[in-house]
């Protein structure tokens, strides 16, 4: 199976009771102590939906059902450092 070398970050916006879950970056070299949305790079062998469900369970300890994933968007970002396509 072939796949692209372009990393594909998937960002999750979790909303409950009109609040959005943010994570605080900590003990890392870049943007330490900044707040961010949960995100990870997509594994090329997984579907985006199943991957989001698994990653949220593993990394944030939140169970999300497939039927509760209500929208998907694509954002392209390109600057002098890199190009990314975010889902």
Q: What does the pLDDT average to over 43-52?
A: 82
| pLDDT category of residue 3 using cuts at 50, 70 and 90 | low
| pLDDT(18) > 90 | yes
Domain boundaries, the chain: 9-86
Q: What does the pLDDT average to over 24-40?
A: 78
Between 50 and 19, the more confident residue is: 19
Between 36 and 65, the more confident residue is: 65
> Percent helix, strand and coil across the chain, each rounded to 5?
20, 25, 55
The whole-angstrom separation of Cα 85 and Cα 26 is 25
pLDDT at residue 4, as a whole number: 58
| pLDDT(1) > 80 | no
């Amino acid at each position: 199976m072939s796949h692209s070398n372009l990393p594909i970050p998937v960002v999750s916006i979790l909303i409950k009771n009109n609040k959005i879950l943010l994570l605080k970056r900590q003990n890392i070299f870049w943007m330490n102590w900044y707040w961010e949305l949960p995100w990870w790079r997509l594994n090329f062998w997984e579907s985006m939906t199943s991957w989001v469900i698994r990653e949220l369970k593993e990394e944030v300890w939140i169970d999300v059902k497939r039927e509760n994933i209500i929208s998907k968007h694509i954002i392209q970002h390109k600057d002098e450092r890199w190009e990314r396509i975010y889902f």
